[in-house]
Structure 1
Amino acid sequence: VRTVGEQRLTCYRFSHTLLQQYLYNKLGKGQRIMLHREIARILEALYEGSRGEIAAQLAFHYAGDLERERYYARLAGERAETLYAQGESVRYLSRALELTPESNHAERYALLLTRERAHHHLGNRDLQHQDLATLHELARILADDGFRAEVALRKSDYARVTGDYVAAADAARIAVELARSQESGHLNQATYCESAGHLRWGKALLRQGDYQAARARLEQALTLAAARPGIYGNSPGPTQVAEDHSRSTAEPIEGTGRRWLQLKASSHRCLGVVCWHLGDNAGAKSHYRQALRICRQTEDRRCQATAINGLGVIAWSEKSPAEAWANFEQAFRLHDEIGDRRGQCRTLSNLGDVAIYWGDYTEARRLFARCLPLCREISEPWIESGVLNNLGIIADRLGAYTEALTRLQQALDLRRKIGDRQGEAEGLSDLGLAYHHVGDNESSRSCSEQSLCIMRD
């Protein structure tokens, strides 16, 4: 017996699935359709007010009824995305897109916006890029600066994770400009997009090592988020479908307040990274803890894991490896539970750092061996370069100098390619030490001088 609110549903199960299949196959096509429709109507009545919980089942039972199947497929896809079931989200949203007329640009835009985010979390970069191109075209057709700003924000995310930090900053700047150009009637939408644009701009500057400029952008994002002028329902992210199966951008499924809180949490978390790079561990801890408090309030496990990872980085820098290891392990478990592969990469790399510190090179190599192919699979060059550099350090310490030079040079080339100036300086220093160990003091001196030059800048 299943209870939903004040209603009860008695459920029966066949003693064997073969018996169920036999009886089902005995029904004619029309009878099957009638059976599915009757089940769907009963479920709709039973779950009135909470149909999102059974949207996948309703999409199945309404197969063939194009309007209702499309409605529930979208609802199932959006719900799956909020529950971190990204693969399932892609499947249902793709089905909804198949059932949506090409001429319904607004509906297709909303579906693609959510599917693009699912691809982002899955690391499906080619598919994500395709969705972004389609979103860009739809925003142009719809001639809506709010939609254009949303797409610019997503382009910034894509560029950042694929290592194009200049493009990431430029896309974020465009989002800010588009947000500022919107009419006063869209003030809340504009404020959200402007705040989110500053956040992404700060993230791009952070990756480029421009910490003061990053701090200014991130503080601006936090200021705007804290002073938001009311609740806005058309913010970036999944939007709710009205009960009459038409598109409505009036209320996001996750809730507008939650989205603003997530933006504040992300701003605090990134400011924690900036403070840590600038040597302000106390400030970094404060920001990470504020981010963690908000993430727990919104039950955002991805953000929780990232904040915990950040606290681990601080513990690591304060020579508390055991505390750092515990934080990294906790963060990895959370990332693993929700299938967040980028988070898994980051925490595996950090665990490997601690293993190196403890001199457990076997464990470090094992961790990096798990991390490296994952980085490449989801196109995460920033983490990949760090893993390659660490593998080079291990090889150097074990006397495998040829391997060390190869790995360190690979890491350096990748860091130069993506514009990671701090990583380049650190990599040159490590490469210089490896050259010294093989007796090539001229190359060692050259690397050290280049490293110092970058650090002085």
Structure 2
Amino acid sequence: MNKIVLTVFSFLWIVILTNNTAAQNDEMRDSLDKLLASEIHDTVRIIALLDYGDLYEFSDPDKAKSYYQKAYHVSINLMHNSDKDSYLHKRAKHLKGSCLRYFGYLNSAAGEYSRAIKYFDTALQIYKEIEYIPLQADCYINQGNAYYGLGDYPECVVAYQQALKCSEKEADTVKITRCINNLGVISIYMGNYNEAIRYLGKTIELSWYLNDSVGVGYALNNLSSIYLKTKQYDSAKVYINEALKMNRMTGDYEGLARNLVNLGIVEKNLGNYRKAAKA
């Protein structure tokens, strides 16, 4: 966000999103309690412990960590007690990688970005060993988000480009869109506006394909910010008006307010003072 003259929507997609209500959490907690109290395979136990930790990821990170640690120890024991060439060993290693990723999420949320990057990288090496490309992409995306938190934009670009390669191998359009969007946002921060325009244009195209109106709106917002920064006010106005349509369509009232502010800035710079006042 430019603190002086305009509002920029710098939207980075992350891999894990949660949206559970308190009632849903209580129901899940009861189900997990029953599951963990029963005779279950260790692989199921690991997943249940990770799910239990998720319930506390934001409300009580320390408690979440304790469940993730329990899951991690079960995965280590399972690896040690299984034949290295067996499917079970590979599955245990996969779940160990999941535990490490979850440690990474907790550290990212706490602002411990360097530590988070190490966890994501350790998990990444595991997914490379077992040749599981989808979660390699997730690790790269989350490393990129952590580098963003550190303000290390060149490393962001490297991470997102690697994630993009993995996602293209899997033909995963959702992740491809996330990576391209994030590359566009980072390009804005680095002042590479032509590159940002290219990435964000592709984001809009893919978001329409995915019927993701919110994603279209964010990309339009970011495109308009480029033209505002470069004082191309006529182009900025076009994209702001398109973004406003998407804000109204999706009920994004916060985005609507921000874009109206930016529209006022554009009208003022174009000499349309009455329109600026109305905006």
Name structure 1 gaps, 5 residues minimum.
1-159, 206-211, 233-250, 418-423, 445-457
Spell out, residue by residue over 1:353-400, the C-alpha distance to the aligned partner (whole angstroms, 9 max, x if none): 133234443332322222223234345566444323212323434212
Number of aligned residue pairs? 248
Change (3 A) 1:269 1:318: closer
| SS in structure 1 at match of 2:154 | helix
1:313 aligns with 2:145: yes
Q: Give, in whole Å, the separation in 1 of the partners of 2:173 and 2:239.
A: 27
Partner of 1:192: 46
TM-score (normalizing by structure 1):
0.44
Letter in 2 for 1:354: I
- Alpha-carbon shift at residue 218 of structure 1 (Å): 4.6
Tell me how far 1:333 sits from its aligned partner: 0.9
> Letter of the aligned partner of 1:313 in structure 2?
N
Aligned to 2:4: none
Counterpart residue number, 2:188: 356
Secondary structure at 1:435's aligned position in 2? helix
Q: Name the amino acid aligned to 2:261.
A: G
Partner Cα distance (1:315, 1:343) in 2: 18
Counterpart CA distance in 2 for 1:428 and 1:327 is 33
Q: Relative to structure 1, is the Cα distance of residues 373 and 325 closer, same or farther in structure 2, using a 3 angstrom cutoff?
A: same
The match for 1:7 is none
Identity of aligned residues (%): 15
Matched, 1:438 2:273: no
Out of 370, 374, 387, the position equivalent to 2:219 is: 387
- Write the mapping of 1:125-164 to structure 2, written as runs, cut at 5 A: none
Report the Cα distance in structure 1 between the residues aligned to 2:224 and 2:196, rounded to whole angstroms.
Answer: 12
- Relative to the length of structure 2, the TM-score reads 0.67
Does residue 92 of structure 2 align to residue 257 of structure 1?
Answer: yes
Write the mapping of 1:94-243 to structure 2, written as runs, cut at 5 A: 165-166=19-20, 174-182=27-35, 183-186=37-40, 188=42, 191-198=45-52, 201=55, 212-213=58-59, 215=61, 218-228=64-74, 231=78
Query: Could you tell me whether the CA contact under 8 Å between 2:207 and 2:215 is conserved in 1?
Result: yes
Contact 2:104 2:120 in 1 (8 A): yes
CA distance in 1, matches of 2:214, 2:20: 14
Relative to 1, partners in 2 of residues 1:265 and 1:325: Cα closer, same or farther, differing over 3 Å?
A: same
The separation in 2 between residues aligned to 1:383 and 1:220, in whole angstroms, is 35
Pick closer, same or farther for the CA change 1:322–1:172 going to 2, 3 Å. Answer: same
Counterpart position of 2:135 = 303
The one-letter code matched in structure 1 to 2:32 is A
Larger RCO, structures 1/2 (Cα 8 Å, 6+ apart)? 2
Task: Tell me the CA shift for residue 344 of structure 1.
Answer: 0.9
- SS of the aligned residue for 1:228 comes to helix
1:58-90 CA deviation, whole Å, 9 max, x = no partner? xxxxxxxxxxxxxxxxxxxxxxxxxxxxxxxxx
Q: Deviations over 1:116-141 (max 9, x none)?
A: xxxxxxxxxxxxxxxxxxxxxxxxxx
Distance 1:171 1:425, change over 3 A: same
Structure 2 unmatched ranges of 5 or more: 1-13, 80-85, 269-274
Equivalence map 1:404-419=2 (5 Å): 404-410=239-245, 412=247
Distance in 2, matches of 1:377 and 1:170, equals: 34
Helix, strand or coil at the partner of 1:165: coil
